[in-house]
Structure 1
């Protein structure tokens, strides 16, 4: 009887603890959503009043304050990660198609993989790791040093001045940065398949062009823009609401990165299936 009561009590404690964590998770989600709504609501004011700050953040995001030492800022990080990922994926694609005797389709597979999934995800991960953590650390340090409270006291809309400005800068920067990364992935895939593995350049280019359509290209950019908005909202929200001193800022940055990666992964799955569907479409090859 005593053992059964103890087991029942443990089960109740575990259930209540799980329910509490789920409740706190939904409360945190609600807080991020409301913070994002405030960020978007402040866009008109940020564009009209804080254009100088937006341009400064554009420079910080794209090239960084020490671009030569940090690999060219976000542009260098995105391009480098996209090239490395494209090289590895192209090698594996060629190897897998070689088992079936269809290595001529390597250009087609590399194009689809880079455009529809690989390049947007790599860009999102690079931006989350480099830009997102920077947003969280910057806003978190301002929160614990009471700079945000000082802005509120002076009547400055702190969410607009700090978070919305960074969101606008992210939206301005993300498309050209992503284009550089996507171009690097395309060139790396072609170099691997044609230059290293010896496939015909004409065959590669022909099948590569078959899968590149304005619609697929636009979807790829749209996915990256959505990912960047998710990253900016989550990173700024955690930084703005940080507490607990420098240690709390570190915890907020780590939590923001984990939350961002999980949210981007879920969003990628939904967007890929929603935009491209479950049935493959390749114009010019009878799959439409």
Structure 2
């Protein structure tokens, strides 16, 4: 039976549309890989812009400290309340500190800190660079023989790689302080038992696993934020679109990469 012409046309248009989307994704991913390659090449090539790196470390790290400490405290307190309520049913409330510390070190701290830095610093980086792009400041830099990758991207990449593990460590610390407060004040767990169980169960491998994730997340946030900024176009509307797309992509990528790293850490344990 012959296929109606309208249906045939619709099928062809649908397949063509899907093909364009897939090819666009492949092309975009290839361009991103080229961008990453250029960035890492410039990372090990002079000039090394120490002043710019320190400025970005202050912005990404120091200026994010308060929100990291605050979020770490409340996340640690909330997790302790939930876990403690369950442990009480089994008479295992003494495990509260160990369970909270392990969850924070391996999973919650790097992921939550990554989300916070992506939302705060990542969005700001994309907005700043995309504004420079639409105002043709980046074109002016290239005309003066200044490589935008070396001047704009590399300092932000180095700063994120260095600061995110430190912020994750602070997140861990505040989360465990909150857990201790909850354990002592609500579940009546002695301080000695709290630290004894934590020392027995939580290892440096757990802490190192979280810091590994933080290091990778720092690279992802900085590279995606800078890339979306450098390809922005369309004036003020383009800046907003680039910033929104960058944050969404950063969050989705962090979730996916977190799963992959967690699986590899378990397999290679």
Give the TM-score normalised by structure 2: 0.92
SS at 1:197 equivalent: coil
Residue 101 of structure 1, CA deviation:
3.2
Q: Which runs of 4+ in 1 moved over 6 A?
A: none
Does residue 1:136 correspond to 2:126, yes or no?
Answer: yes
Match of 2:49 in 1: 50
- Superposition RMSD on alpha carbons, in Å? 2.0
Number of the residue aligned with 1:266: 256
1:160, 1:262 → 2: CA distance? 27
Kindly report which structure 2 residues correspond to 1:1-288, keeping only aligned pairs within 5 A, or say none: 5-45=5-45, 48-63=47-62, 73-277=63-267
Deviation larger for 133-142 or 171-180: 171-180
Report deviation, 1:7.
Answer: 4.0
In 2, the alpha carbon distance for the partners of 1:219 and 1:136 equals: 28
How far did 1:269 drift? 0.6
Q: Is the 8 A contact 2:129 2:230 kept in 1?
A: yes
Q: Distance in 1 between matches of 2:8 and 2:83?
A: 53
Change (3 A) 1:175 1:243: same
TM-score (norm 1): 0.86
**Unaligned regions of 5+ residues in structure 1, if any?**
64-72, 282-288
CA displacement 1:212-236 (0-9 Å, x = unmatched): 2222222211110100100100000
Aligned residues: 269
Given that residues 111 and 211 in structure 1 are in contact (C-alpha distance below 8 angstroms), is that contact kept between their aligned partners in structure 2? Answer: no
